[in-house]
Every structure is written in structure tokens, then in C-alpha cells.
Amino acid sequence: MKSCLVVYYSRTGITQEVAQRIAAGCACDIEPIRDMLPRDGVPGYLRCCYEAFARKTPPIAPMARNAGDYELVILGAPVWVGRLSSPMRSFIRANAARLPQVAAFCTMGGSGGDRALDEIAALCGKPLVARMALADREIKGERDRDKIGQFTRTAAAAPG
Ligand SMILES: Cc1cc2nc3c(=O)[nH]c(=O)nc-3n(C[C@H](O)[C@H](O)[C@H](O)COP(=O)(O)O)c2cc1C
């Protein structure tokens, strides 16, 4: 098994749950992206919408682990207004040059995952070795256990 780090951003815990399941499944390290701005209540929600729509890169806290120390990084983030959530954009912008192989997943209410995954690949400047869009309603079911397992296996088996 190649060395692997799961890096995720989660505002309300759904992406975190998936990230933890992936990290537990492949016994790899996991690291959250920590926001520096409040995102609760209506003002926080509106900030999320604005930053995603305008493709902003808000400040994020320094991270304990270095993505460049791993052979594979798995990125996970929610969809906001049909786009990538802004803290993940900040992380990729700051780390693109040192990213090894990248796999990515997005969580969403129901739509926008493919577009957000395309943005992750574009920001990374390379194709994703595995990608997965998960709707919130799917996350508890058996089908998604299979989907998450398949995603993780594809990422781990990617040559290179
Ligand atoms: C500001 C905001 C915008 C959102 N926009 C979308 C959207 O365009 N499409 C969608 O399917 N879900 C959208 N959602 C729902 C989240 O993507 C979804 O609930 C996700 O699983 C939340 O992940 P988290 O709990 O890790 O933050 C939005 C949520 C927020 C807070």
C-alpha cells in the first residue's frame, strides 16, 4: 500500500465522516483543513455562497502534515453553489506544486459534484487517479459503502 494522506474540508461533518471512513479503510493519515473565518448562521452561509461563486481563496490554518511527504493524497470537500467549497481551493492553491498523485471526492445535496471535481483536477494541474461524487442521502447506505470502497481501491491501485 502506498503512503497516503486524506485531506478534507467539512463545514457540518458530512465530508468528515466520509474522510474518516476512507482513512480507516486504508489505514492512512488524515488531516482537516481548518477555516479561519466563522461560517455559522446566515452570514456564514452567505459567505460560503459568495466565496464559492467568486472562486475565492479564504485564509486557512497551517497544517501539521506535508502533502509532499506522501505518494497519494485524497482530497475531500463539499459542493457549494455548484462549485468547489472555497477552503479546499485555498489548500490546493497553496500546495499544488508539492502534490503527488491525487484522488478526490465531493459531498453534495444532489448536484454539482462533477463540476467541483473538475475544478480540483484543474487546480492540481493533473488528472485525478480516482474521483467520486456522493449525495448526502446516499452516505449511510450499503451502496455507498461499496462506492467508497471502490473509490479507495482505485486510488490505491493507480500506477505511478
Ligand atoms: C453554502 C452551501 C452551498 C451548497 N450548495 C450546494 C449545491 O450547489 N449543490 C448541492 O448538491 N449541495 C449543496 N450544498 C450542500 C452540501 O454540499 C452538502 O450538504 C455537503 O454534504 C455538506 O458537507 P459538510 O457537512 O462536510 O460541510 C451546499 C451547502 C452549503 C453550506
pLDDT digits (tens, 9 = 90+) for 33-76: 999 989 999 999 999 999 999 999 999 999 999 999 999 999 99
Neighbours of 137 (CB within 10 A): 10
Collect all residues with Cβ–Cβ distance below 8 Å to 14 and sequence separation of at least 6.
78, 107, 136, 139
Give the closest residue (by CA) to ligand 1 atom 2. 80
- Residue 15 pLDDT > 80, yes or no? yes
For residue 143, what pLDDT is reported? 65
> How much is the CA Rg of the chain, to the nearest whole Å?
14
Nearest atom within ligand 1 for CA of residue 13: 25
Pair 72, 128: CB distance under 8 Å: no
Q: Evaluate if residue 138 carries a pLDDT over 90.
A: no
Structural domains in the chain, CATH included, are 4-157 (3.40.50.360)
Whether 92 and 120 have beta carbons less than 8 Å apart is answered as yes
Q: What is the model's pTM?
A: 0.97
What span, in angstroms and rounded, lies between the C-alpha atoms of 68 and 97? 9
Q: Which atom of ligand 1 is nearest to the CA of 79?
A: 17
Quote the pLDDT of residue 96.
96
Per-residue pLDDT tens over the stretch 106-128 = 999 999 999 999 999 999 999 99
Ligand 1: lining residues by beta carbon, under 6 Å:
10-16, 45, 48-49, 78-82, 107-112, 136
Cell of 43: 452570514
